[in-house]
Structure 1
Amino acid sequence: MLFDDKAVREMPLVSASRIESEGWPCVKSVLSQTGRVAITEDGKVTAFVLSIAEYEQLLPEDRPKDLAALRKRFDARLAVLNEPGAGDRLRSVMDAPVKPRLEGTSDGTKCSELLGGVYVLGRVPSMFEWIRLMREGLPFSCMDAFCDRLGLSLPQLIDEVGVSSVAIGASRQSGKLTKEQSIRLLRMARVVEYGCEVFESVAATRDWLRAPNISLGDVPPMSLLDTEFGAELVRRAIRNIEYGLPV
Structure 2
Amino acid sequence: MEKIPQKTKPFDTKRSIQNADKASGSKKSAIFFEGKEYKWNTGIEKVETIRAGIPYGSIEEISKRLNNPIKSVLQILGIPQTTYNKKKSEHLLLESRESELIMLIQELIDFGLEVFNNEEEKFQRWLKKPNISLGGNSPESMLDTVTGINEVRYSLNRLEFGNLA
Aligned to 1:21: none
Say what the alpha-carbon RMSD is for the aligned residues: 2.6
Q: 2:29 aligns with which of 99, 104, 108?
A: 108
- Are 2:73 and 1:157 aligned? yes
- TM-score by length of structure 2 reads 0.68
2:98 to 181, 184, 190: 181
1:186 deviates by: 0.9
Q: Which protein has greater RCO, CA pairs closer than 8 Å, 6+ apart?
A: 1
8 Å Cα contact 2:133/2:164 also seen in 1: no
Shift of 1:142: 1.9
Matches within 5 A, 1:4-153: 105=26, 107-109=28-30, 112=31, 115-116=32-33, 119-121=35-37, 124-127=39-42, 128-153=44-69
Match of 1:196, as an amino acid? Answer: L
Cα 1:108/1:237, change in 2 over 3 Å: same
Q: CA deviation at 1:148?
A: 2.6
Q: CA deviation at 1:204?
A: 3.2
Correspondence for 1:198 among 115, 121, 131? 115
Q: Judge conservation of contact 2:28–2:40 (CA < 8 Å) in 1.
A: no
- DSSP-derived class of the 1:140 partner: coil
Q: 2:141 is matched with which residue?
A: 223
Deviations 1:159-207 (A, max 9, x none): 4x25232443343244221111101111111211221220122443333
C-alpha change, 1:213 and 1:142, in structure 2 (3 Å) is same
Aligned in 2, Cα 1:244/1:148: closer, same or farther, shift over 3 Å? same
> What CA distance in whole angstroms lies between the structure 2 residues aligned with 1:212 and 1:199?
17
CA contact (8 A) 1:184 1:226 kept: yes
Q: Percent identity?
A: 23
The 8 Å contact of residues 62 and 73 in structure 2, kept in 1 or not, is answered as no
